[in-house]
């Protein structure tokens, strides 16, 4: 049996490895942070870890540029289960109406983890999207945004959704943000999971 100090250390390492390995395209190592039934929820994809890796690799190969950055971790432990919250940014680069732009979305990874056979792994990653912004990579040109398309998405990830829609992805419109029923529902789900309930 682990002690809580070890548990927290192993979970922290897992969370940090996630961003280093995914963003560098180290897919084999990236697979190891997930349990086999692990599920990833993103604006542009929802499904199993294996599927997520497949489509991430496809995106990587065709030049989709997404980078993550972490800004603080808080972990709630309950035996062989844990819920962690990690400050993060998702930074996507792409052309918007011919102008190279960066979209930076700020939020939290809200993660459900389990220790099975002595190994911590991700069971579910549900990000919380708090706000985002779009800026040209160089100040030499400014894109014209389609205000109607932008307004279709929640304030937490509307610029991210904008570019992902333009890239051809179908963006999920009801992801949790900083406030509102979606994030309250997520907190309740986390508490239930820690209390031993089903996911």
- Cβ pair 126, 41 in contact under 8 A: yes
User: Cα separation of 134 and 44, whole Å?
Assistant: 17
Tokens for 160, please give them: 């991210």
The correct pick among 2, 21, 154, 166 for binding its own copies (CB under 8 A) is: 21
Least distance in Å: CB of 62 to its own copies? 12
Q: Does 46 bind its own copies (CB under 8 A)?
A: no
Least distance in Å: CB of 85 to its own copies? 5
DSSP per position, 90-118: EEEEEEETTEEEEEEEEEEEEEEEEEETT
Q: Does 150 bind its own copies (CB under 8 A)?
A: yes
The correct pick among 7, 102, 111, 114 for binding its own copies (CB under 8 A) is: 102
| Region 110-129 residues binding its own copies, contact defined as CB under 8 A | none
Q: Does 81 bind its own copies (CB under 8 A)?
A: no
At 167, give phi and psi (nearest 5°): -80, -10
The correct pick among 1, 62, 147, 181 for binding its own copies (CB under 8 A) is: 147
User: Cα separation of 181 and 148, whole Å?
Assistant: 24
CA angle at residue 152 from 148 to 156, to 5 degrees? 120
For CA atoms 35, 5, 128, 162, the dihedral sign is: negative
Sites of contact with its own copies (CB under 8 A): 5, 8-9, 13, 15-17, 19-21, 23-25, 65, 67-74, 85, 87, 89, 91, 93, 101-102, 106, 108, 130-131, 133-140, 142-145, 147, 150, 159, 178-179
């Amino acid at each position: 049996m682990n002690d809580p100090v070890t548990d927290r250390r192993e979970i922290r390492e897992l969370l940090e490895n996630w961003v280093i390995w995914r963003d560098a395209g180290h897919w084999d190592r990236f697979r190891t942070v997930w349990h086999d039934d692990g599920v990833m929820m993103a604006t542009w994809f929802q499904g199993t870890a294996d599927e997520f890796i497949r489509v991430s690799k496809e995106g990587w190969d065709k030049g989709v540029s997404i980078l993550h950055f972490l800004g603080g971790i808080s972990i709630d432990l309950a035996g062989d289960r844990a819920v962690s919250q990690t400050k993060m940014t998702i930074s996507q680069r792409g052309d918007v109406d011919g102008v190279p732009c960066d979209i930076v979305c700020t939020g939290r990874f809200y993660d459900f983890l389990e220790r099975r056979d002595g190994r911590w792994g991700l069971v579910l990653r549900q990000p919380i999207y708090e706000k985002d912004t779009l800026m040209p990579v160089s100040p030499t040109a400014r894109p014209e945004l389609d205000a109607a398309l932008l307004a279709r998405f929640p304030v937490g990830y509307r610029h991210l959704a904008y570019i992902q829609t333009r890239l051809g992805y179908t963006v999920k419109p009801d992801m949790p943000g900083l406030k509102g029923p979606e994030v309250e529902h997520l907190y309740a789900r986390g508490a239930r999971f820690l209390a031993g309930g089903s996911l």
